Amino acid sequence: MGVHNEFGKLGEEKAVAFLIKNGYQIRYRNYRYLKAEIDVIAQKGETLAIVEVRSRSSEFHESIADTIGKKKIKLLIMAADHYVVENDLDVDVRFDVITILKKGNSFILNHLEDCFNFF
Query: Can you give the pLDDT at residue 50?
Result: 97
In a domain, 29, yes or no: yes
In a domain, 40, yes or no: yes
Q: Residue 4 pairs with which residues in a beta bridge?
A: none
**pLDDT above 80: residue 54:** yes
Query: Can you give the pLDDT at residue 51?
Result: 97
In a domain, 64, yes or no: yes
Report the number of distinct structural domains present in the chain: 1
- Strand ranges (E), 1-119: 25-33, 36-44, 47-56, 92-103, 106-112
- CATH at residue 55: 3.40.1350.10
The pTM of the full predicted model, rounded to 2 decimals, is 0.87
Residue type, 54: R
In a domain, 62, yes or no: yes
Query: Can you give the pLDDT at residue 111?
Result: 94
Q: Report the C-alpha gap between 52 and 48 in whole angstroms.
A: 13
Indicate the pLDDT class of residue 61, thresholds 50, 70 and 90.
very low
Average pLDDT, the chain: 87
In a domain, 81, yes or no: yes
Which of 80, 56, 75 lies closest to 66, judged by CA?
A: 56
In a domain, 44, yes or no: yes
In a domain, 119, yes or no: no
Q: Residue 94 pairs with which residues in a beta bridge?
A: 49
In a domain, 117, yes or no: no
- Host domain of residue 45: 3-112
109: left (phi over 0), alpha (psi -120 to 50) or beta: beta
Indicate the pLDDT class of residue 34, thresholds 50, 70 and 90.
very high
Of 20-24, 25-29, 53-57, give the lowest mean pLDDT range: 53-57
Span 40-67, average pLDDT: 82
